[in-house]
């Protein structure tokens, strides 16, 4: 069994929740994580 991977890989596989841990401490990763979150939003469900 393979462990690990990126948030994008898990989301592409159908996972709805991903723990990102230390990625939040890396400013370069924040934009990427936000992009992944926006890509996974269903129409009309975006946070306001």
What tens digit of pLDDT does each residue of 34-48 get? 887 787 665 555 554
Q: What is the pLDDT averaged over residues 20-36?
A: 80
Q: What is the pLDDT averaged over residues 24-43?
A: 77
Distance between CA atoms of residues 25 and 3, nearest Å:
22
Phi-psi region of 47 (alpha: psi -120 to 50; beta: other; left: phi over 0): beta
pLDDT of 48 reads 45
Q: What is the pLDDT of residues 3-15, one digit of tens each?
A: 667 777 877 888 7
């Amino acid at each position: 069994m393979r462990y690990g991977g990126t948030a994008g890989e898990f989301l592409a596989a159908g996972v709805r929740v991903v723990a990102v841990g230390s990625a939040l401490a890396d400013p370069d990763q924040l934009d990427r994580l936000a992009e992944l979150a926006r890509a996974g939003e269903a129409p009309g469900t975006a946070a306001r």
